[in-house]
Amino acid sequence: MKTRTVIAANITLLMLATAALQAADQKIAYNARNGGNMRIEGTANIIHPTWAIVSPMIGGMLEVGPGFPTEPGQEATPGKIEASGTAFMTVRSFKSVESDGKPYSDRMDEVTYEHLKEAQFKKISYKLTELTLKEVAKSKDAPYVFDSTGELTIAGTTNTIKMPVNILPGVDSKGEKRLEITGNITIKMTDFKVEPVDINLVVGHIKTGNEVKLVFKWILGQKKAVAAATQ
């Protein structure tokens, strides 16, 4: 009887220890969900001092390791967090818009696709390589502030970029855990071997500036938890 009790206790302890180890190693995977968008803003000459193109869809996935805050306002420790992921947008999903958000021009869209070499490179993509928590959320409604490093590929050319991002965990109306990741970065198009637009249109001559600002909101939903792959 005594021996049986000791064996049972040992088995229980072993199971608890295994479960704890698994929990510590568990990664959480998120998949892109509807509701995000990417806006690219730039400057031009006198006809349209500013311009913008918008894609209403950002696809991709994100996988985060232990210490990543998945609940609103959850306690977390600043520092590097294991994370990997990719985000992408199809080039043709970008459309030129007026300042009030209304669609602008088919011709401008065409020019955009030509400059981004859409025929050859269908997507703009981003690969996350490093994520560091800098600031913990100040309240349940506030985002966590991270520093991110990743590889941005536009028109077939890849550059490493660093930018701060805000991540707001939450739950959607169906009860699915979600992340809203927002951020922006200014880049030079020539760094990606994309020449600024310099063209005559019906409205006149348009020449765009080299610097553009990428502003994004990426929505992700939590996939079912998966065990970490063996290193």
Residue placing its CB nearer to another protein in the complex, 1 or 119: 119
Q: Which stretch binds another protein (CB under 8 A): 8-16, 66-74, 98-106, 188-196?
A: 98-106
Q: Interaction with another protein in 65-84: which residues (CB under 8 A)? A: none
Q: Interaction with another protein in 157-216: which residues (CB under 8 A)? A: 202-203
Residue 56 is a binding residue for another protein (CB under 8 A): yes
Q: Which 3-state string (H, E, C) describes 144-170?
A: EEEEEEEEEEECCEEEEEEEEEEEEEE
Sequence letter at residue 121: F
Give me 111's structure tokens.
């020019």
Among 28, 32, 116, 145, binds another protein (CB under 8 A): 32
CA dist., res. 196 & res. 189, Å (int): 7
**Least distance (Å) between residue 92 CB and another protein:** 6
Sequence letter at residue 168: L
Residue 106 is a binding residue for another protein (CB under 8 A): yes
Among 57, 76, 161, 163, binds another protein (CB under 8 A): 57
Residue 46 is a binding residue for another protein (CB under 8 A): no
Do residues 103 and 96 touch, judged by C-beta distance below 8 A?
A: yes
Q: Position of tokens 């590929």? A: 153
Among 47, 80, 99, 107, binds another protein (CB under 8 A): 107
Residue placing its CB nearer to another protein in the complex, 69 or 115: 115
Nearest to 51 by CA among 10, 126, 109: 109
Alpha carbon of residue 127 to chain centroid: 9
